[in-house]
Structure 1
Amino acid sequence: MLRQEHGALFSAAAEIRATTGDTLVRALADDVVRLLLRDLNALEAITTSGHRTSTS
């Protein structure tokens, strides 16, 4: 469930980044995309190492 939510937010942030002309909004969307990608990678590492949590 947590990965689904991160994926939905990742898609939204990527779309905003791709369609905005505002440099401040684009920079913020870049930060969000990087943060979510880092979190998704961490979640993936946790689930592939066999350590499952109730949030994954």
Structure 2
Amino acid sequence: MAFVVDMTEQKRAEESREEHLWFLECMDRINRAMQRTHEVEAPPAKRRQSLSR
């Protein structure tokens, strides 16, 4: 019986990790989209500065 409980806890931990990873990946996509939008809206001189970095 202990083996079944351990596997259940391990499965829950893995599912939790996968959900957290999915959340972080979504946040990264949002962040990248916001950065692209900011670069498009920036004045030309500021865009040149960010491209030269």
Tell me by how many angstroms 1:34 deviates.
0.5
TM-score of the superposition, structure 2-length normalised? 0.53
The residue that corresponds to 2:18 in the other structure is: 27
TM-score of the superposition, structure 1-length normalised? 0.51
More helix per residue: 2
Look up the equivalent residue of 1:45 and give its one-letter code: R
1:49 is the counterpart of 2:40: yes
SS state of the match for residue 41, structure 2? coil
Count of aligned positions: 31
SS state of the match for residue 21, structure 2? helix
Gaps of 5+ in 1: 1-20, 52-56
Runs (4+) off by over 6 Å: none
Tell me by how many angstroms 1:47 deviates.
0.4
Bigger Rg, structure 1 or 2: 2
